[in-house]
Chains A and B, each alone.
Chain A
Amino acid sequence: PHAGPVESKNEAAMSELVPEPRQKPVVPMKPMGINTSLLGYIGIDTIIEQMRKKTMKTGFDFNIMVVGQSGLGKSTLVNTLFKSQVSRKSSGWNREEKIPKTVEIKAIGHVIEEGGVKMKLTVIDTPGFGDQINNENCWEPIEKYINEQYEKFLKEEVNIARKKRIPDTRVHCCLYFISPTGHSLRPLDLEFMKHLSKVVNIIPVIAKADTMTLEEKTEFKQRVRKELEVNGIEFYPQKEFDEDLEDKTENDKIRQESMPFAVVGSDKEYQVNGKRVLGRKTPWGIIEVENLNHCEFALLRDFVIRTHLQDLKEVTHNIHYETYRAKRLNDNGGLPPMTVETEENHESNL
Chain B
Amino acid sequence: GCRTLSLSAHVGFDSLPDQLIKKSIKHGFCFNILCIGETGIGKSALVSSLFNTDFEDSPSTHFLSSVRLRAQTFELQESNVLLKLTVVKTVGFGDQVNKADSYQPIVDYIDAQFEAYLEEELKVIRSLFSYHDTRIHVCLYFISPTGRSLKTIDLLTMRSLDSKVNIIPVIGKADSISKTELQEFKKKIMSELVSNGIQIYQFPTDDETVSEINTITNGYLPFAVVGSMEKVKIGNKMVRARQYPWGVVKVENENHCDTIKLRRMLCTNMEDLKEKTRAYYESYRRCRLEKLGCRDTGPENKPVSLQEVIEAKRLEFCLEMERKEEEIKQRFVQKVKEKAAMLEEAEQQASMPVLTKFERLMLMHQEEELKLGEKKKLLEAEIAQFIEKKAIAESIQSQVSNPVSLK
Q: Which residues of A contact B (CB under 8 A)?
A: 2-3, 5-7, 9-11, 13-14, 17-18, 21-48, 50-56, 60, 62, 81-86, 109-117, 119-120, 154-155, 158-162, 164, 243-244, 301-302, 305-311, 314, 318, 322, 325-326, 329-330, 333-334, 337, 348-349
Residues of A close to B290: CB separation below 8 A: 160
Contact across chains for B52 and A23 when beta carbons are under 8 A apart: no
Residues of B close to A154: CB separation below 8 A: 303
Main secondary structure of the interface of A (DSSP, over half): mixed
Given A27-B73, A158-B306, verify A33-B56 contact (CB < 8 Å).
yes
Could you jot down 17 A-B contacts, CB within 8 Å?
A2-B124, A6-B317, A17-B292, A25-B70, A27-B134, A32-B73, A39-B53, A43-B78, A43-B267, A48-B24, A50-B269, A54-B275, A117-B16, A158-B306, A318-B129, A329-B124, A337-B303
Contact across chains for A314 and B295 when beta carbons are under 8 A apart: no
- Give Cα A183–Cα B323 distance, bound, in whole angstroms: 59
CB distance from A281 to the nearest CB of B (A): 18
The listed residue (B55, B289, B292, B306) touching A33 by CB distance below 8 A is: B55
Contact across chains for A3 and B4 when beta carbons are under 8 A apart: no
CB distance from B257 to the nearest CB of A (A): 17
Contact across chains for A333 and B29 when beta carbons are under 8 A apart: no
Contact across chains for A110 and B5 when beta carbons are under 8 A apart: yes
The listed residue (A36, A53, A60, A329) touching B307 by CB distance below 8 A is: A329
Contact across chains for B104 and A22 when beta carbons are under 8 A apart: yes
Contact across chains for A160 and B289 when beta carbons are under 8 A apart: yes
B264 at interface (Cβ–Cβ under 8 A)? yes
Contact across chains for A158 and B8 when beta carbons are under 8 A apart: no
Residues of A close to B73: CB separation below 8 A: 27-32
Which residue of chain A lies nearest to B14 when distances are taken between CB atoms in the complex? A115
Given A9-B316, A10-B310, A337-B303, verify A3-B21 contact (CB < 8 Å).
no
Stretch binding the partner chain, chosen from B81-89, B188-196, B360-368: B81-89
Contact across chains for A334 and B307 when beta carbons are under 8 A apart: yes
B19 at interface (Cβ–Cβ under 8 A)? yes
- Give Cα A116–Cα B14 distance, bound, in whole angstroms: 7
Given A36-B75, A47-B29, A48-B25, 5 new contacts (CB under 8 A): A27-B86, A114-B13, A154-B303, A162-B282, A309-B15
The listed residue (A17, A31, A337) touching B84 by CB distance below 8 A is: A31
Which residue of chain A lies nearest to B50 when distances are taken between CB atoms in the complex? A42
- Give Cα A85–Cα B7 distance, bound, in whole angstroms: 9
B163 at interface (Cβ–Cβ under 8 A)? no
Contact across chains for B13 and A7 when beta carbons are under 8 A apart: no
CB distance from A206 to the nearest CB of B (A): 22
Which residue of chain B lies nearest to A333 when distances are taken between CB atoms in the complex? B311
Residues of B close to A10: CB separation below 8 A: 119, 122-123, 310, 313
Contact across chains for A22 and B105 when beta carbons are under 8 A apart: yes
CB distance from A19 to the nearest CB of B (A): 10
Contact across chains for A9 and B5 when beta carbons are under 8 A apart: no
Given A30-B73, A31-B75, A114-B14, verify A44-B267 contact (CB < 8 Å).
yes
Which residue of chain A lies nearest to B238 when distances are taken between CB atoms in the complex? A39
- Give Cα A22–Cα B68 distance, bound, in whole angstroms: 11
Among B16, B55, B79, B104, the most chain A Cβ lie within 10 Å of the Cβ of: B16
Contact across chains for A310 and B20 when beta carbons are under 8 A apart: yes
- Give Cα A51–Cα B74 distance, bound, in whole angstroms: 22
Which residue of chain B lies nearest to A243 when distances are taken between CB atoms in the complex? B26
Which residue of chain A lies nearest to B206 when distances are taken between CB atoms in the complex? A57
Contact across chains for A42 and B267 when beta carbons are under 8 A apart: yes
Among A7, A120, A314, the most chain B Cβ lie within 10 Å of the Cβ of: A7
Given A21-B111, A21-B112, verify A161-B83 contact (CB < 8 Å).
no
The listed residue (A24, A25, A44, A54) touching B76 by CB distance below 8 A is: A44
- Give Cα A348–Cα B2 distance, bound, in whole angstroms: 6
Chain B 287-299 per-residue mask, 1 if CB under 8 angstroms from chain A, else 0:
0111110111000
CB distance from A122 to the nearest CB of B (A): 8
Given A38-B76, A55-B20, verify A43-B68 contact (CB < 8 Å).
no
Contact across chains for A43 and B55 when beta carbons are under 8 A apart: no
Which residue of chain A lies nearest to B109 when distances are taken between CB atoms in the complex? A25
Residues of A close to B88: CB separation below 8 A: 25, 27
Chain B 261-299 per-residue mask, 1 if CB under 8 angstroms from chain A, else 0:
001100111111001001100100110111110111000
Contact across chains for B10 and A18 when beta carbons are under 8 A apart: no
Which residue of chain A lies nearest to B275 when distances are taken between CB atoms in the complex? A54
In the A-B complex, the 6 residue pairs with the smallest Cβ-Cβ separation, listed nearest first, are: A115-B14, A43-B267, A9-B317, A310-B19, A50-B271, A21-B108
The listed residue (B19, B68, B275) touching A307 by CB distance below 8 A is: B19
Given A48-B81, A112-B5, verify A301-B321 contact (CB < 8 Å).
no
- Give Cα A5–Cα B316 distance, bound, in whole angstroms: 11
Residues of B close to A32: CB separation below 8 A: 56, 72-74
Given A83-B10, A111-B4, verify A160-B294 contact (CB < 8 Å).
yes
Which residue of chain B lies nearest to A84 when distances are taken between CB atoms in the complex? B5
B11 at interface (Cβ–Cβ under 8 A)? yes
B314 at interface (Cβ–Cβ under 8 A)? yes
Residues of B close to A85: CB separation below 8 A: 5
- Give Cα A195–Cα B111 distance, bound, in whole angstroms: 43
- Give Cα A244–Cα B27 distance, bound, in whole angstroms: 11
B207 at interface (Cβ–Cβ under 8 A)? yes
Among B68, B115, B275, the most chain A Cβ lie within 10 Å of the Cβ of: B115
Given A55-B17, A85-B5, A155-B302, verify A23-B78 contact (CB < 8 Å).
no
- Give Cα A109–Cα B69 distance, bound, in whole angstroms: 51
Residues of B close to A110: CB separation below 8 A: 2-5
CB distance from A244 to the nearest CB of B (A): 7
Residues of A close to B19: CB separation below 8 A: 307-311
Which residue of chain B lies nearest to A36 when distances are taken between CB atoms in the complex? B77
Contact across chains for A9 and B313 when beta carbons are under 8 A apart: yes
Given A30-B73, A34-B74, verify A51-B271 contact (CB < 8 Å).
yes
